[in-house]
Each structure stands twice: as C-alpha cells, then as structure tokens.
C-alpha cells in the first residue's frame, strides 16, 4: 500500500497572485486541475501570503488575487464542486507554517534552488519569508492532509521538502501516518513550458521581455504575434522526437502545441514532419488563439463583478477552514499546546 492510500484522496494546489498568469501556469498546472475535479475532491488556493515574500503593492495584490481567481474559474475550476479561496483568509496556513518552521532544518531550506534564483546575488536583502516559503507551502497542503498536488516541474523540489516535513513531524511527534506524504502530480507535455525567447529558460512571470511569454489575458493579435516572433532555429521540423535533441526552441513549441491540443508530442511531430517553422507557427498561433481567447473573455466577464468573486473566495475560505480545523486541533494536541 502506498502512503497516500492510507489517507482519503484530496487534491490541493495553488498559484501566486503576482502579475498575470501565463501559458506555463495554464498548461503546467491549471489545465490538470480542471480534469482532476472529475476524479477527486479538490481545493484550489490563491496563495496571496506567498506573494508578499517579494516586494508587493497592496492594490496590485488585491487586483491580482481577483484576477487569478477569475482565471481559475474561466479555465473550468467549478467553485461549487471544488473549494476555491485565498490563503490569507484561513489562519491555519500561517499557524501550521510556524510549527513547520520548527520542524524543517536550515540545511533543507539551504538547498532550495528557487530561493537561490529569486534571491539572486542580493541574498542578505531577501525577506526571511522568501527563505521559509517552502515551509508555508508544506503547510498549505498538509493543513488539509491533501494527498495529491498537481503542479509544474519547477515545484518538484518544494514538494519533496513537504514530504520530508510531513515525515519528520510524524516521527518527532510519534504520530505515524498523521500527515500523508503528498504526491506530486506532474503530467503531460506542458509541465515545463519554456520562454519563447530562449528555449533553455522557463517561461516566467518575472522575465523582463513580455515576448518571452503568452499571458492568459493577451488578445488574439498579441498571441499570434508572440508565436510568430518566437525564437527558432533555421531547420525544418524533424520527423521524430529524437530529432528535437539539441533544439530546445523547437521542442518547446511542439510541447506547447501538444499540450494545447491534448495530443502527444509524437502525434504533433508526425503531423508536421519536415514542415517549415513558418507553417507550424501559423498553426500554433491559430490553436493558441482558439484555446486562450475564450478564457480571456470569460475572465473579463467575471472581473466585471468583483463582489461576486469576493463572495466565492469567502465561501471557499469557510469550507476550507472547516476541513483544516480538526487537523489543527490534533496538531496542537500532538505538539503539546494547551487549550
Ligand atoms: P507559481 O505561482 O510560480 O506557479 C503556479 C503553477 O504554475 C506552474 N508553472 C509552470 N508550469 C509549466 N511551465 C512553466 N513555465 C511554469 N511556470 C509555473 C508551477 O509549477 C505551479 O504549479 N509555490 C507555488 C505556489 C504554491 C503551491 C502551494 C503549489 C504555494 N503553495 C501548495 C502547490 C501546493 C508557486 O510559486 O507557483
């Protein structure tokens, strides 16, 4: 029996409300979230407390929180079926994160590559919150004793840490199997969408060039232009996946096409074997516009009623708090907190 089999299946995942979401967020995570709703109960969070680990502006944060909520719903997250809320409305996240700050070891956090990337050369000036961020992420998941976490490839290391924290808590407090060891759910050809300007770099919200990414709010012309301007090499497309070796930009565009079309990369290569990039890019631009512009339109409609978005988040937060409450009561008892 795997560890998660001892626990009731439950999905948890989240995204940071920093800037607009992009194609990587959609293909790496959000698209899978929507499908998982058919299979298991799901909790989807807008992790606003994570967003303040880097410099943030209060108005922009509130706006981005509503925008990310709208993106979840527009992509197909059903707020009646799944629980959808913003992290700061449920105090259990911060409370459990403190306990985990005392469980996780400094050496574990020192190994986190995302901290190194984000802090850059100016490590001394990074917030302490950015350093202990993975402990908060573990708390997000484990406050609900969630078993499955659908994310993109870049979150794998954080999830391994969450498993280590769960295991150490269970051992330290003599509570075998209290926390599940959450399983990463990283599937499909879109788990690592790369920059459109450099196939060796991840598509990211923080890249200076807007041409490096497709934002979920881009209009049809902008999407088409970004695809047509995407960096490529001079050769036509190969006829096998092996032929993509050493051609990161070509590989990235094939994977994006496959993820958007719900095909395998093999099928896409089969269809476009020997094609010039100009031909393939036109097809990809049409596909991206067809898949993404209805989502942007739906987001705009939802955002025209921010009060309704706030109601959805509040309702989700109440349902989330009710699940976390008994878990936190048991955590307090296990740790030895009186009252
Ligand atoms: P965040 O906000 O950076 O990204 C949200 C999700 O999008 C995925 N992603 C990508 N997938 C494929 N290609 C890309 N280029 C790409 N860029 C981003 C991420 O893997 C993620 O799934 N720490 C998390 C948020 C978080 C969380 C959690 C996730 C906080 N608590 C608990 C799961 C469970 C983050 O910063 O994701």
Please provide the DSSP assignment of 68-91 as one string: HHHHHHHHT--TTTSEEEEGGG-T
CA distances from 112 to 10, 49, 206 (A): 26, 19, 18
The per-residue pLDDT for 122 is 87
Instruction: Cite the residue boundaries of each domain of the chain with CATH code 1.10.240.10.
Output: 210-300
Q: Would you say the C-alpha torsion 16, 18, 24, 30 has a positive or negative sign? A: positive
Question: What's the whole-model pTM score?
Answer: 0.97
The per-residue pLDDT for 20 is 86
Kindly report, residue by residue over 35-77, the tens digit of the pLDDT.
999 999 999 999 999 999 998 899 999 999 999 999 999 999 9
In DSSP terms, 42 is beta-bridged to 11
The per-residue pLDDT for 262 is 96
Q: Tell whether ligand 1 has an atom less than 6 A from the beta carbon of residue 22.
A: no
Cα–Cα nearest to 257, from 274, 246, 247, 270 = 270
The per-residue pLDDT for 25 is 98
Ligand 1 centre to CA of 152 (Å) is 6
Superfamily of domain 4-185+306-335: HUPs (3.40.50.620)
- Return the H-helix or E-strand segment holding 65: helix 58-75
* Phi, psi at 206, each rounded to 5°: -95, 0
> Which structure tokens are listed for 336?
């030895």
> Which structure tokens are listed for 234?
């001079």
Instruction: Cite the residue boundaries of each domain of the chain with CATH code 3.40.50.620.
Output: 4-185+306-335
**Cα(23)–Cα(288) distance, integer angstroms:** 9
Is the distance from CB of 148 to CB of 11 less than 8 angstroms? yes
Q: Tell whether ligand 1 has an atom less than 6 A from the beta carbon of residue 15.
A: yes
Burial of 11 per CB tally in 10 Å (0-12, 13-18, 19+): buried
Q: Tell whether ligand 1 has an atom less than 6 A from the beta carbon of residue 137.
A: yes
In DSSP terms, 43 is beta-bridged to 12, 83
The per-residue pLDDT for 1 is 54
Task: Calculate Rg over the CA atoms of the chain.
Answer: 21
Q: Which residues of the chain have pLDDT under 50?
A: none
Q: Helix or strand or coil: residue 18? A: coil
Is the distance from CB of 171 to CB of 124 less than 8 angstroms? no
The CATH number given to 210-300 is: 1.10.240.10
The per-residue pLDDT for 56 is 86
Ligand 1 pocket test: which of 12, 13, 15 has the largest number of ligand atoms within 8 Å of its C-beta? 15
């Amino acid at each position: 029996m795997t560890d998660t089999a001892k626990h009731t299946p439950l999905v948890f995942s989240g995204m940071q409300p920093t800037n607009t979401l992009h194609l990587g967020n959609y293909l790496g995570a959000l698209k899978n979230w929507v499908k998982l709703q058919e299979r298991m109960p799901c909790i989807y969070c807008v992790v606003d407390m994570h967003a303040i680990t880097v410099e943030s502006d209060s108005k922009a944060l509130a706006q981005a929180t509503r925008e990310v909520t709208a993106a979840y719903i527009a992509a197909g997250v059903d707020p009646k079926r799944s629980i959808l809320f913003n992290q700061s409305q449920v105090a259990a996240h911060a409370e459990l994160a403190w306990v985990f700050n005392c469980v996780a070891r400094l050496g574990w956090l020192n190994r986190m590559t995302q901290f190194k990337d984000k802090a850059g050369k100016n490590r001394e000036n990074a917030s302490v919150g950015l350093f202990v961020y993975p402990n908060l992420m573990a708390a997000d998941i484990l406050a609900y004793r969630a078993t499955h976490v659908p994310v993109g490839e870049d979150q794998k290391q954080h999830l391994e840490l969450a498993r280590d924290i769960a295991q150490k808590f269970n051992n330290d407090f003599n509570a075998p199997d209290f926390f599940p060891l959450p399983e990463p759910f990283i599937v499909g050809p879109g788990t690592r969408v790369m920059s459109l300007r450099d196939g060796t770099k991840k598509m990211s919200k923080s890249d200076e060039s807007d041409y490096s990414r497709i934002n979920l709010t881009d209009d049809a012309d902008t999407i088409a232009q970004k695809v047509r301007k995407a960096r490529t090499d001079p050769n036509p497309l190969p006829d096998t996946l092996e032929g993509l070796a050493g051609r990161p930009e070509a590989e990235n565009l094939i994977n994006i096409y496959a993820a958007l079309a719900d095909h395998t990369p093999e099928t896409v290569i089969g269809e476009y074997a020997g094609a010039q990039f100009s031909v393939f890019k036109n097809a990809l631009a049409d596909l991206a516009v067809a898949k993404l512009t209805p989502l942007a339109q739906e987001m705009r409609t939802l955002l025209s009623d921010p009060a309704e978005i706030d109601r959805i988040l509040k309702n989700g937060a109440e349902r989330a708090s009710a699940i976390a409450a008994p878990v936190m009561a048991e955590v307090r008892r296990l740790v030895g907190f009186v009252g």
